[in-house]
Amino acid sequence: MPSRTFFMHIGKTAGSAVNQMLKEHFGDRFIAHIEASQDWPNRLNENYDCLSGHLHFPLFKHAAGNRLFCYVTVLREPVSQTRSHLHWLRRLGTNPNLRQDTPPHILKISDALVDIDLNDAGHVRHFLMRQDDTHHDRIRLLDNGQARYFLEGYVDRKFELRDLRIAIDSMAQFDFVGVNEDVTGIVTGIKEVLAIDADLKLPHANVQEYDREFDREVWRKTLGDWVGYDCALYELARVKAGH
């Protein structure tokens, strides 16, 4: 088994909690958000046992070259992940401390979300479908945004069936894919694939306050073309995890 691990941190899937858990175990041998460094591929030469980042799998694997890694990630029920992502994006623009470190193209989306009712699936769809200067950025971030992590690069077109096939093939190369709703399974799975004997605990981290009550079926029907492929990949991950 490879001695080093890469945790592919997909946004709003309990990734911050997994990062904290890995940090508590690996200590200084762990580094999070490697994508924050422009020269992040060079960081693969440094003496870390576990690395984490918002990086697409093929991009990281290409940079890794002949270096062997154990690959780990977590998926989340797609409608819940999309709602959480939207609330997080809006928060970025309203929090001065977060705003100063947020890229301009993300801030445009954040500012546009201020007047959107994020509890109304119809309002959200209207926002997603708007034809303006943030359209391509919205596609890259929110159109089947979890499955996109398994693709090469940030394509700014709508996700397609051919992309799902690539995502499935990429996911098959992971040593462990957890699902956000199974905390015990995440901890157990990571301990098993990383051969960790010590106790691990998944903390609550980066938890947002917003109305979590919603009609899942209404949201799935309304945003079907924005979450449908994510749903397919998520269900596949659940089956493989034994759910």
Residues 131 and 31 in one domain: no
Residues 12 and 122 in one domain: no
Q: What is the separation, in whole angstroms, between the first and last Cα of the chain?
A: 26
* pLDDT computed for residue 30 by the predictor: 98
18 contacts: CB under 8 Å, gap ≥ 6: 7, 9, 52, 74, 186, 190, 202
Provide the token pair at 66. Answer: 């002949």
* pLDDT computed for residue 122 by the predictor: 97
| β partners of residue 69 | 4
**What is the b/e burial string over 97-127, where b = at least 16 CB atoms within 10 angstroms of the residue's CB?**
eeeeeeeeebbbbbbbbeeeebeebeebbeb
Residues 120 and 23 in one domain: no
Question: Which uninterrupted H or E stretch holds 79?
Answer: helix 78-94
How far is it, in rounded angstroms, from Cα 44 to Cα 192?
Answer: 24
Chunked into runs of 10 residues, the chain (243 residues) has average pLDDT values of 92 95 97 94 94 97 95 97 95 88 91 94 96 92 96 86 97 97 95 95 78 90 97 96 78
Domain with residue 21: its CATH number is 3.40.50
Residues spanned by the domain of 84: 79-160+211-230
In the chain, the number of structural domains is 2
Could you tell me if residue 200 is inside a domain?
no
Could you tell me if residue 28 is inside a domain?
yes
* pLDDT computed for residue 212 by the predictor: 80
* pLDDT computed for residue 205 by the predictor: 67
